[in-house]
Amino acid sequence: MEKEYIEPRGIYRSLRVLWKHVAVLLALVTAYLTFPKWFSWYNFGVSTANDAFDYKSTYLNALKTNLAGNWSEKYTSEPHLAGTNRGFVEWTKDKFEEYGLAARVDTYDIYVSYPHEHSLKLLRSKDDKLLYDAPLKEDEIKKDKTSIGGEKAGVIPTFLGYGANGNVTAEYVYVNYGTKEDFETLEKLGVNVKGRIAVARYGAIFRGLKVKFAQDAGAVGVLLYTDPGDDHGITPANGYKQYPDGPARHESLVQRGSVQFLGAPGATPGDPTTPGYASLPGAERQDPHQSIGRIPALPISYREVTPILKQLNGHGKKSPKEWEGKIEGIDYYTGPNTNVTLNLYSDQIFKIQPLHNVYGEIEGEKKDDVIIIGNHRDAWIKGGAGDPNSGSAVLIEIARALGQLKAAGFKFKRTIVLQSYDGEEYGLLGSTEFGENFSRELKRNVVAYINLDSAVVGPNLKLEASPVLNHLLRSVAKEIEYPNKKGGSLYKHFQEVRGDKIGTLGSGSDYTVFLEHLGIPSVDLGFQPGKNNAVYQYHSNYDSYYWMTHFGDPDFVFHNVAAKYVGLLALQLAQQEVIDFGTKDYADSLVSYFNVTEHLIPESWWKKDVSKCKSWKDFLRWDLDDVAASKEMAVVYSPRQLYPFPELFAAKQCKHSRLHLMVDVARSKDLKLKDIVKLTKTDIERLQNVTTIFDADSEALQVKFEGRDSLNFWQRIRLHFELKHHNAVLKYFERNFLHHKGLHERSWFKHIVFAAGRHTGYAGQDLPGLREAIEDDDFDRFVEWLGILSKAVRAVSAHL
Ligand SMILES: *[C@@H]1O[C@H](CO)[C@@H](O)[C@H](O)[C@H]1NC(C)=O
Ligand SMILES: *[C@@H]1O[C@H](CO)[C@@H](O)[C@H](O)[C@H]1NC(C)=O
Ligand SMILES: *[C@@H]1O[C@H](CO)[C@@H](O)[C@H](O)[C@H]1NC(C)=O
Ligand SMILES: *[C@@H]1O[C@H](CO)[C@@H](O)[C@H](O)[C@H]1NC(C)=O
Ligand SMILES: *[C@@H]1O[C@H](CO)[C@@H](O)[C@H](O)[C@H]1NC(C)=O
Ligand SMILES: *[C@@H]1O[C@H](CO)[C@@H](O)[C@H](O)[C@H]1NC(C)=O
């Protein structure tokens, strides 16, 4: 039986509301007369003196001194693989403390793997004669001291984190990028991967998924190499010199990295032995192989892959044109060549290791409203000047400048926390375990999360964000100068290089747990190489201080811009009384994502009857039935929980008869998919209308707050509650898009609008529930996800 939700109507409702209003007024008057001191909040806490404080100038002034290069040099001076550099933990904590932040270290016990032994040999099949023994080492470069001295000097061997141990000898085939489609193409071509080693080039998708798809296809091992064909023409063949003499990739460069199955069905970010819960001492451990592979894998350079791929010339099938890279002498045949085999041996030490996050906090007057700026500290290599130390250097600069603001007597309205995570590289370990351990507190308190990671590896700003932040990101970029000869603002530059386009978040960095597990609005930002800039020597020994000071950001000017931008973003979020979110931007994005989805619906689906569909009933269900979800919502998101009688103070109530419409629709016997797609679309369009009004209210409330001195006592009380209500709605706006059961086969991913692509890992997928149902040709699931989306959208419209 479906319960119909009937709203109380007419005189009873009016009387009930009237009684509440009278009651709250009486209570307030009595309280004021009895305990006038309780009403100090009536001045809104913050003194007007603080209002006059030009905090933005003070913050930017602090950054006229640029020490980013100092911090970069420090962080690139020693190896700091996840869980291995206790000195950097203490140094980071000391820095936060030196600048006046309350610092602490948070430790989790996490399953990781460390390099031990490896080898790669090309053999003649008939007699195992050794044809080539790959050195599996990057060249030492005199000018770049980070690359010299081997393991004794802290140089970290080439390896793939979580790559399984094994010693396999087999024929091998070239699998292009190793995407799902690439393995399908091989099948069509009649090239069997089973029992063979897959040789894939880096690019297109997250490397761990290449290993997963290879394993699924029956491969016994994987080699990952970097092809100069993916360097946008900055290659020796085009006359560019190799690092350190020019901007091209060094031919011996090896990209290390994690081969965790990021984003794949069944896999979770974080410790693979504690999926969905924190790796505390004594935590129950599970078999990690949902999230990591069973076949060995090694990363190699393009110089090392050359003799290997050369053996495939003329063997197997000629690859499709798009599969061709740019290594000289290679014809990019799939193979195999039955006359040669590879012996791939990889041995790593798997263990549970304490990993340390470091947090530094400046408490605000509204201490339970928190803005987090996060970045990881661990790196695959000794240097890591770009990844992650450009972000780490920027984080320390932000701490220094915020510290000066605090020292000058400035009162922060909301709390700002800087976080330095361990173990991001292996699979977002530190941030995910933190997010899982404190999920309740974070959902309740965090307003927004700002992610750094590779903050500077070139001059072009890239932004990916939850759309509620779009407005903020653009407006703050207008306040910052872009450091080039032409001049102009950072925003003008962003328009020029990105066409003003803010991207969709996928995965691959620490924002994942905040946005996709906890529903916290997030942004990931960084300066990246443009078309003519030096190739970034990603995850290699050459991502060093020398590279940064000669190619990436020689004078650390972009580090400085990043510190200014991120700090001002956090300050704007912290200081503006009405949280600076734009909800209309979110609704607009939903409209465009839904529009794209609509065009992907198969023709034959449109006229299909949905009333016989199992999931149709869910489509009709209102939150009231959904005990788990509504309980969680009641605790976490509802303004009703924050203070009584929200209807008295809500700026504007939006009423609509959607529910009645639904019930009418349900009675119609002959219901087609097109009808409910149209309904959902109407829901989203209504959200556009509602958010237009809501954003205008935000502005009006902010103006009213700024002119609060001219308000009388009762007007102030009203404004106080209006603000409280409005800010609660803003703060929890994005939480409404969490679905407590999570995505199909990926229950850890709770966000219904944004997810890591299940076949790409890095790239974001909008409306994943709907898109995946279309990909899987699952009509019933599509209807179910329409219901989930429309329910969420209706809930948001009702809250606003
Ligand atoms: C930063 O580095 C410069 C140049 O190496 C040095 O002169 C200066 O003392 C350093 N400042 C700090 C605060 O470490
Ligand atoms: C790996 O296997 C090969 C034979 O397939 C063997 O010769 C070699 O010793 C093995 N290596 C290790 C380290 O076990
Ligand atoms: C393998 O080698 C033999 C002789 O060395 C040669 O006759 C044969 O054509 C080769 N096969 C392939 C597939 O290259
Ligand atoms: C996990 O969270 C609890 C509080 O919920 C806290 O007491 C504990 O210190 C946290 N553990 C770690 C390792 O941070
Ligand atoms: C919807 O998509 C179509 C084509 O994909 C495009 O032409 C149209 O402008 C889009 N409409 C909206 C509102 O985004
Ligand atoms: C949104 O507002 C426009 C203009 O006021 C109106 O025509 C339209 O019907 C509204 N849409 C919905 C879905 O409420």
Q: Is the pLDDT of residue 525 over 90?
A: yes
Minimum-distance ligand 1 atom for the alpha carbon of 67: 1
* CB 125 less than 6 A from any atom of ligand 3: no
Does pTM top 0.85 for this prediction? Answer: yes
* CB 65 less than 6 A from any atom of ligand 1: no
pLDDT value at residue 33 = 80
Question: What residues are in contact with ligand 6 under a 6 Å CB criterion?
Answer: 682, 685-686, 689
Which ligand lies nearest the alpha carbon of 125? Answer: 3
* Distance, CA of 316 to CA of 306 (rounded, Å): 17
User: What pLDDT digit, counting tens, does each position of 577-596 carry?
Assistant: 999 999 999 999 999 999 99
Q: Is 773 exposed, middle or buried (0-12, 13-18, 19+ CB in 10 A)?
A: buried
Which ligand lies nearest the alpha carbon of 590? Answer: 5
- CA 437 / ligand 4 centre spacing (Å): 6
Q: Is the pLDDT of residue 646 over 50?
A: no
- CA 587 / ligand 5 centre spacing (Å): 15
Q: Is the pLDDT of residue 617 over 90?
A: no
Question: What residues are in contact with ligand 2 under a 6 Å CB criterion?
Answer: 167, 169, 343, 345
Pocket test for ligand 2, best of 122, 169, 345, 346 (most atoms within 8 A of CB): 345
Nearest CA to ligand 1 atom 5: 70
- CA 595 / ligand 5 centre spacing (Å): 6
- CA 446 / ligand 2 centre spacing (Å): 52
410 — pLDDT class (breaks 50, 70, 90)? very high
User: What pLDDT digit, counting tens, does each position of 169-204 carry?
Assistant: 999 999 999 999 999 999 999 999 999 999 999 999
Instruction: List C-alpha distances in Å: 464 to 188, 451, 655.
Output: 36, 10, 34
For residue 336, is the peptide bond before it cis, meaning its omega torsion is within 30 degrees of 0? yes
Taking residues 681-693, report their average pLDDT: 94
Name the residue among 543, 616, 641 with its Cα closest to residue 784: 616
Helices then strands, each counted (H, E), the chain? 26, 17
- CA 133 / ligand 3 centre spacing (Å): 21
User: What pLDDT digit, counting tens, does each position of 787-798 carry?
Assistant: 899 889 988 888
Taking residues 360-383, report their average pLDDT: 97
Pocket test for ligand 1, best of 66, 67, 70 (most atoms within 8 A of CB): 70
Minimum-distance ligand 4 atom for the alpha carbon of 106: 14
Q: What is the mean pLDDT of the chain?
A: 91
pLDDT value at residue 594 = 98
Name the residue among 432, 454, 429, 436 with its Cα closest to residue 83: 429
- CA 316 / ligand 3 centre spacing (Å): 13
Residues forming a β-bridge with 526: 462
* CB 599 less than 6 A from any atom of ligand 5: yes
Neighbours of 21 (CB within 10 A): 13
Cβ atoms of 535 and 244 within 8 Å: the answer is: no
717 — pLDDT class (breaks 50, 70, 90)? confident
Active site residues: 424
667 — pLDDT class (breaks 50, 70, 90)? low
User: What pLDDT digit, counting tens, does each position of 235-285 carry?
Assistant: 999 999 999 999 999 999 999 999 999 999 999 999 999 999 999 999 999
pLDDT value at residue 612 = 76
Give the position of tokens 């003194």: 47
* CB 30 less than 6 A from any atom of ligand 1: no
For residue 135, is the peptide bond before it cis, meaning its omega torsion is within 30 degrees of 0? no
Phi, psi of 176 (to 5 degrees): 55, -130
Taking residues 91-108, report their average pLDDT: 98
